[in-house]
Structures are given as structure tokens and as C-alpha cells.
């Protein structure tokens, strides 16, 4: 609903672009009923949303100064946000996919020197140009389906030089495509072979050398840890959180993906932005996340690809009002998937989210998971005009049909960057 003040305060002199004949899924109010406004209009000024509301309440504007676009009844949503990816990496793991189909489990492959460690080998061998060339089509695929912001993690370098290389490539991607890239340092993703029998020494390297260097060079704004029995234990995870906080990073965790170690409760103690995966999260963990105002990032692609059977505790997350974000987890081992629209579909079909919850999961709640709610994730006055325009008749279509790309146009900071 458009308030009276909203209309009166509108400074129409500054409008640059005005979309008419559209419907809006504003995703305000936690995404309830999509924050839907039918028969709407939306104005953009200096890369920000300057006005939106019912077209019948549109204030007067100078049509000689504003570019007016006829939206032809299309739907506008906030530009989609993929808040958890590992899309910079060397090689691929199609061979392990085959091994799994011959009966080996993800954990068995990891324990036998495959898994994350094999991608580390390929990533170390790859040049920056090669990493960029392989990541670009993945980011392009996301972007073509409406993604305007993506989070990219390091974590396949596992030494200073190669972690920096990954983060620099992630930064370079933002120059190649009109997508905001939020970078996360995931040095504590796996144990590199050279520290095979000394996880504590590796954690010391992460805390005492990698985190300070990455802070100094401003290569990331968040630090993540894979807290798991094939990753790092609670004591090691806590050390990384403490070092990260000391250097001004936000934190998040991969936790409760394969077992319940209590990583999410630990993350809550350190006021993390999010805990991600969370299939094995207990009610105590859910409560701790709720008290710390954390977001649960659900990754249906990894659940599907690993043929996981333990569903994340959706009812408990709802009961305790924990925000649920949805992301691709795009990575070569557990989710070789670069479609956020497919994740919307799976969040509904597999996790039983409502389409409204799922769409909030890739917009407003994804922004919350990245700590950027004041800039992105909703159609609201003053927020960045990152907007996806869809050729659909109702928002649920984005979750319902898969395989036909309904994106009609994409606006990044007020500029039309895709138009079909």
C-alpha cells in the first residue's frame, strides 16, 4: 500500500525512468503474499527506487524529462540475490559423480582424497585468467535468470596465495558483468594436504596470517567456516570466528549439513549473519538462531544432488521466526547448479516452502543473509533499483514452471542491462 506521505514527498523532478502498466512483488513485510501491488507504477532516480505504488495514485510528473516504459502487464521483483555460491573453482568433478553412481558416498570420496581436496588441486593449478574464464559462464547463467547480486566464497585455494587468487577473480567477475559480488573468505573449508595431520596448525595459519592479510587487502567482507566432521570442529570454528571478528569481518557458517555438531549455536553466540545448509539443525539450534536474528540459508540443490534424506527443520524455523534464504551453493562437488529459478522450484517441491516464502528467500531474506537489507532485496523507496522484470501472470509462476526463462528485462542500479 502506498502511504499518503509517500505520494506527497515524491520529488518527481528527479525521476529518470518511470515504469507504467506493471505489477509489483515488492517482497516487503517478510515477503508475505509477495508484498503484491497490482496495476502499479515504479519510478527510478539516480539508481534508486524513487516511487512506487498504484498507478492510479501516481503523482504528476514532467513527461518531457522522464523516460517512460510501458511494462505491458509484466511483473517486477527485486533483482534476485544468490547468497551462497562457490562459483570460482578449477576443473570439475564429473568423475566423482560417476563414482557416486557406482556406489561410493560423498563422504567416502572426500575421505579418499577426492572431494573438496581434488578441486583444490585443480584450482591451485589454474591461472587467474583460467579461473575467470570458467566462472564467467556460471555467473552469466545466474544473471540471465535475474540475479543482480551474488555471494562468492573462496575455499579451494587453502593457502594464502591461492585464496587471494580466488577472491581477486571473484572481484574481477563484478567488472565483467553488471552483478554486485559479495566476497566471503572460506579458508576453513577443508584441510589442505600439506596440513593433513595437523588441522590446528592450519587453523592457526587461517587465523594468524590469512585473515589479517585478507582484511588488509580488503578482499572480502565476511568469513565462513565449514563446521562439520569432514570439515572443522567447534573449537577450530570458534578460533576462526574470533579472529574474523577481531578484523572486522561479518561471519557465517556451513553448519549441520551432514551431522549436528552445534555449529549454528556457536555461530549464534558470535552473532553470525547466517547458518547455511542446516538439515541436521536441532530445535535448540533454531532457537539460538532466532535469538541472534540469524538467517537460515537453505540449499536445496546440495540436498538434491547428494540425495540427502534429512530435511531442514522448516516447521521449527517458521515457529521460531527464523528468516529462510534460498541459494544455489553452486560448486563442483555438492551442487553443480547455476539456476536460482531451479532452486525456487526445489525449495517448494522438496522443502515445501510456499512460493511466497521461496521468492522472499532469493530476495529480502537473501539480502538479510548478506547483511545488505538496507540496500537490496526489496522494492522500497531509497533501495538500489536492482529489479527483475518477468513475463509472468502471477509471482508463483517463478517457482512453478522450470526450464523456460521468463526474464524479460533486468535493471541494475537503474540501468537496463538485459532487455528481451
3-state helix, strand, coil in the chain (%, to 5): 40, 25, 35
418 bridge partner residues: 410
Q: Which is nearer to ligand DI6, 57 or 233 (CB)?
A: 233
- Minimum gap (Å) between residue 305 Cβ and ligand DI6: 9
- Minimum gap (Å) between residue 156 Cβ and ligand DI6: 7
Q: Are strands 407-412 and 415-419 parallel, antiparallel or unpaired?
A: antiparallel
- H or E segment to which residue 148 belongs: strand 147-153
The CA distances from residue 316 to 30, 52, 285, 365, in Å, are 17, 35, 10, 17
- H or E segment to which residue 4 belongs: helix 4-9
Q: Which is nearer to ligand DI6, 324 or 409 (CB)?
A: 324
- Of 37-45, 50-58, 327-335, 350-358, the window that binds ligand DI6 (rule: CB under 6 A) is 327-335
Q: Which is nearer to Fe ion, 252 or 376 (CB)?
A: 252
Q: Is 87 in the site for ligand DI6 (CB under 6 A)?
A: no
78 binds, among Fe ion, ligand DI6, none (CB under 5 to 8 A by kind): none
- Minimum gap (Å) between residue 37 Cβ and Fe ion: 35
Give residue 221's Cα distance to chain centre.
Answer: 14
CA distance 289 to 295: 7
Q: Is 332 in the site for ligand DI6 (CB under 6 A)?
A: yes
- Of 40-48, 114-122, 202-210, 318-326, the window that binds ligand DI6 (rule: CB under 6 A) is 114-122
CA distance 391 to 402: 14
Contact call for residues 217 and 187 (beta carbons, < 8 A): no
Sole residue written with cell 569481518: 249
Residue choice 26, 85, 119, 364 for contact with ligand DI6 (CB under 6 A): 119
Q: Is 254 in the site for ligand DI6 (CB under 6 A)?
A: yes
Residue choice 19, 52, 202, 226 for contact with ligand DI6 (CB under 6 A): 226
Q: Is 116 in the site for ligand DI6 (CB under 6 A)?
A: yes
71 binds, among Fe ion, ligand DI6, none (CB under 5 to 8 A by kind): none
Q: Which is nearer to ligand DI6, 255 or 383 (CB)?
A: 255
Half-sphere exposure of 246 (CA within 13 A, CB side): 11
CA distance 249 to 241: 9
Q: Is 252 in the site for ligand DI6 (CB under 6 A)?
A: no
Contact call for residues 323 and 289 (beta carbons, < 8 A): no
Contact call for residues 222 and 211 (beta carbons, < 8 A): no
Taken as a whole, the chain contains a residue count of 420
Q: Which is nearer to Fe ion, 58 or 370 (CB)?
A: 370
Q: Is 257 in the site for ligand DI6 (CB under 6 A)?
A: yes
- Of 54-62, 329-337, 351-359, 399-407, the window that binds ligand DI6 (rule: CB under 6 A) is 329-337
Residue choice 272, 302, 366, 398 for contact with ligand DI6 (CB under 6 A): 302
- H or E segment to which residue 216 belongs: helix 211-216
Q: Which is nearer to ligand DI6, 113 or 212 (CB)?
A: 113
Q: Which is nearer to ligand DI6, 78 or 90 (CB)?
A: 90
Residue choice 115, 157, 192, 300 for contact with ligand DI6 (CB under 6 A): 115
Q: Which is nearer to ligand DI6, 313 or 332 (CB)?
A: 332
Q: Give contact residues for Fe ion (rule: CB under 5 A).
A: 329
| Binding residues for ligand DI6, total number by CB under 6 A | 14
Q: Which is nearer to ligand DI6, 90 or 395 (CB)?
A: 90
The string of DSSP codes covering 66-134 is SEEEEEEEEEEEEPEEE-------SS--HHHHHHHHTT--HHHHHHTT-THHHHHHHHHHS-HHHHHHH
Q: Is 149 in the site for ligand DI6 (CB under 6 A)?
A: no
- Minimum gap (Å) between residue 84 Cβ and Fe ion: 6
Contact call for residues 88 and 166 (beta carbons, < 8 A): yes
- With H, G, I as helix, E, B as strand and everything else as coil, classify residue 180: strand
Chain residues in the site for ligand DI6 (CB under 6 A) = 86, 115-116, 119, 189, 226, 254, 257, 302, 329, 331-334
Amino acid at each position: 500500500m502506498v502511504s499518503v506521505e509517500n505520494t506527497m514527498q515524491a520529488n518527481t523532478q528527479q525521476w529518470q525512468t518511470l515504469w507504467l502498466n506493471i505489477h509489483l512483488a515488492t517482497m516487503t513485510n517478510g515477503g508475505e503474499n509477495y508484498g503484491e501491488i497490482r496495476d502499479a507504477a515504479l519510478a527510478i532516480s539516480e539508481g534508486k527506487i524513487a516511487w512506487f505504488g498504484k498507478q492510479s495514485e501516481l503523482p504528476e510528473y514532467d513527461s518531457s524529462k522522464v523516460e517512460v516504459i510501458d511494462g505491458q502487464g509484466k511483473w517486477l521483483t527485486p533483482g534476485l540475490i544468490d547468497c551462497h555460491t562457490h562459483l570460482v573453482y578449477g576443473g570439475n568433478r564429473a568423475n566423482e559423480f560417476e563414482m557416486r553412481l557406482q556406489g561410493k558416498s560423498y563422504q567416502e570420496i572426500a575421505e579418499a582424497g577426492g572431494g573438496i581436496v581434488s578441486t583444490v588441486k585443480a584450482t591451485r593449478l589454474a591461472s587467474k585468467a583460467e579461473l575467470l574464464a570458467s566462472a564467467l559462464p556460471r555467473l552469466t547463467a545466474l544473471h540471465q535468470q535475474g540475479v543482480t547480486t551474488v555471494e562468492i566464497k573462496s575455499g579451494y585455494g587453502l593457502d594464502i596465495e591461492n585464496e587471494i587468487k580466488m577472491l581477486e577473480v571473484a572481484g574481477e567477475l563484478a567488472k565483467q558483468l553488471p552483478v554486485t559480488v559479495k566476497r566471503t573468505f572460506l579458508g576453513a573449508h577443508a584441510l589442505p594436504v600439506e596440513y593433513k595431520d595437523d588441522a590446528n596448525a592450519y587453523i592457526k595459519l587461517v587465523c594468524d596470517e590469512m585473515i589479517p592479510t585478507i582484511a588488509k587487502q580488503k578482499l572480502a567482507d565476511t568469513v565462513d567456516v565449514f563446521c562439520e566432521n569432514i570439515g572443522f570442529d567447534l573449537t577450530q570454528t570458534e578460533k576462526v570466528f574470533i579472529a574474523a571478528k577481531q578484523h572486522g569481518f561479518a561471519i557465517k557458517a556451513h553448519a549441520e549439513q551432514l551431522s549436528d555438531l552445534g555449529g549454528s549455536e556457536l555461530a549464534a553466540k558470535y552473532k553470525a549473519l547466517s547458518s547455511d545448509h542446516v538439515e541436521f539443525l536441532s530445535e535448540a539450534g533454531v532457537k539460538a538462531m532466532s535469538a541472534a536474528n540469524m538467517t537460515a540459508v537453505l540449499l536445496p540443490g546440495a540436498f538434491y544432488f547428494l540425495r540427502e534424506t534429512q530435511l531442514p527443520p522448516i516447521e521449527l524455523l517458521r515457529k521460531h521466526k527464523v528468516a529462510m534464504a534460498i541459494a544455489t551453493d553452486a560448486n563442483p562437488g555438492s551442487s553443480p547448479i547455476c539456476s536460482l529459478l531451479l532452486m525456487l522450484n526445489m525449495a517448494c517441491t522438496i522443502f515445501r516452502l510456499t512460493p511466497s516464502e521461496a521468492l522472499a528467500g532469493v530476495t529480502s531474506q537473501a539480502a538479510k543473509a548478506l547483511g545488505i537489507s538496507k540496500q537490496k532485496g526489496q522494492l522500497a523507496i531509497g533501495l538500489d533499483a536492482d529489479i527483475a522484470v518477468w513475463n509472468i501472470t502471477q509471482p508463483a509462476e517463478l517457482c512453478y514452471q522450470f526450464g523456460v526463462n521468463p526474464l524479460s528485462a533486468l535493471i541494475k542500479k537503474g540501468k537496463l542491462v538485459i532487455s528481451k
